[in-house]
Amino acid sequence: MANLLLKNALILTMDQALTTVQRGYLQIRGDRIAALGEGEPPFSEEGYQVLDCSGKIVIPGMINTHNHLPMILFRSLGDDVADRLKRYLFPLENESLDAPMVRAGADYAFAELLFGGVTTCYDAYYFEDEVAQAAEACGIRAVLAETILEGPSPSAKEPYGEWAYTKWFVEKWKGHPRITPSVNCHAPYSNDTEHLVAAHDLARREGLLMSMHVAEMAYEHTGCVERYGLSPVAYLDSIGILDEHFLAAHSILMDEADLDIYQRRGVKVSYNAGSNAKSAKGVAKIRQMLDRGIPVSLGTDGAMSGNTIDIVTQLSLVGKIQKLFNGDRTLFPAREILQLATIGGARALGMEGEIGSLEVGKKADIAIFETDSVNMSPLYDPYSVIVYSANPGNVESTIVDGELVMHRRQLRSMDFGAVKARLLAYQEQIRQTAAELDRALAEG
């Protein structure tokens, strides 16, 4: 693979100073950024594959910090069902899923991420080794975990059957250049104290990120208060598992005392704007979190919750929901929202030294937007254009680890036609399972 040289590019580096290169170059050698600057490259172009980025906007690859990728198999089912997780989603997954299906879903989901300029994703699901193999094959960077819960689950009929799987998975994938294992407990309401503490011990012993859904459900909150006399956040803190290697998804139902705990412990947050709005669960107080120095990143949740899994679609939702929620249109300027999607995601995953901004020495993870499409002009403020005007279809190329994995809307690391055919091969089977569920729900 030739080294890449991007020329004539408008570059939003998302570095600490938010340096914007108006018309410049970015040199990639191997998997890292070797140089970038204004104007023409001050070195020979020989031996480089040159991408002329005239009229294009180059940004760091976007980072999705909360997903359940293979759930894309079920996208558009059960969108409006009340108490959907327990009445619809868990039964549908338990009835349907096996390892080959998870692989088919993961391949398709990774295609959507790469088409949308997402270069790193956090995922937790079942049969996660299939997701890891899909990630390895398609060239994306990923932090991955088997979901641990009391169960039953698609991959374990016995309570906590995912424990042995998690240990095996961590051993198998640790040390991989692009795939980082993680420890994931589903939620405070689907795990007991003993297993939460043990999961945290495992994560600390192996130096891994632990992640969980936290302060998301009303019944999670009332259940915790009834059982422990504490909010979910206070309960998790009381058992000693909150720290700077803990990534909390959602974190909607939070009071000031909960925010104090996150701040004190260095907990990181994945904000899922679209999924939270669609499920009518509330709005996470990310302004207050950021003002307290709590790292906030963006996630989508699974495609049955948020429907799309790219990050471009989330950007304008973040701005609109937060401005409306806080009654202040000056909050969250576009460049701050793009920070959440890039360097914010890197911080949430503990990878800010390697990814999240375009700086010499960092990994070459990059999204390139075209500006020829009708929605992309004029271009007075490129941050605003990316956040409020762009859609994922405007991403023209995606580079991960120095490799051009999507170029001119063509995936180079997978055969999208074959991937789509394998996903759709499950459609009739899933349709029948869903119809049975719908009938059972209608009968009460």
Distance, in Å, from the CA atom of 139 to the CA atom of 443, rounded to the nearest integer, reads 46
Q: Which residue is nearest to Zn ion (CB)?
A: 301
Task: Kindly tell me the sign of the dihedral angle through the C-alpha atoms of 302, 307, 312, 316.
Answer: negative
What is the nearest approach in angstroms of Zn ion to the Cβ of residue 275? 7
Cβ-in-10-Å burial (0-12, 13-18, 19+) of 378 comes to exposed
Distances (CA, A) of 296 to 225, 251, 269: 26, 11, 5
- The residue (of 301 and 370) whose beta carbon lies closer to Zn ion is 301
Residue for token pair 């963006």: 298
Segment interacting with Zn ion, rule: CB under 5 A, options 7-15, 297-305, 388-396, 412-420: 297-305
Q: Which residue among 301, 365, 370, 403 contacts Zn ion (CB under 5 A)?
A: 301
Toward Zn ion, which CB reaches closer, 296 or 406? 296
Q: How far is CA 283 from CA 215, 218, 247, 258, 364, in A?
A: 11, 13, 18, 15, 34
Nearer to Zn ion, 58 or 304 (CB): 304
| CA distances for 63 relative to 2, 75, 217, 250, 435, angstroms | 25, 21, 25, 16, 35
- From residue 443, alpha-carbon distances to 91, 124, 266, 285 in Å are 16, 32, 47, 39
Choice between 11 and 317, CB closer to Zn ion: 317
Phi and psi for 98 in degrees, rounded to 5?
-140, 180
What does the block give as tokens for 46? Answer: 């020989």
Nearer Cβ to Zn ion (77/338): 77
Nearest distance in Å: CB 186, Zn ion = 8
Q: Binding-site residue total for Zn ion (CB under 5 A)?
A: 1
Partner residues linked to 153 by β-bridges? 156
Binding segment for Zn ion (CB under 5 A), chosen from 37-45, 100-108, 171-179, 298-306, is: 298-306
| C-beta of 116 vs 306, nearer to Zn ion | 306
**Encoded amino acid at 405, one letter:** V
From the list 87-95, 105-113, 301-309, 332-340, the region that binds Zn ion by CB under 5 A is 301-309
The piece of 195-203, 294-302, 315-323, 393-401 that touches Zn ion (CB under 5 A) is: 294-302
Region binding Zn ion by CB under 5 A among candidate stretches 296-304, 360-368, 370-378, 397-405:
296-304
CB of 252 to Zn ion, least distance (A): 12
Q: What is the CA radius of gyration of the chain?
A: 21
220 binds Zn ion (CB under 5 A): no
Residue whose token pair is 């970015």: 26
* Residue 344: C-alpha distances to residues 64, 124, 184, 442 (Å): 10, 19, 20, 43
Q: Smallest distance, Å, CB 254 to Zn ion?
A: 17
Cβ count within 10 A of residue 83 = 10
Minimum CB–partner distance for residue 363 and Zn ion (Å): 26
CB of 27 to Zn ion, least distance (A): 38
6 vs 318, which CB is nearer to Zn ion? 318
Name the minimum Å distance from CB 249 to Zn ion. Answer: 6
CB-wise, 60 or 105, nearer to Zn ion?
105
Residues that bind Zn ion (CB under 5 A): 301
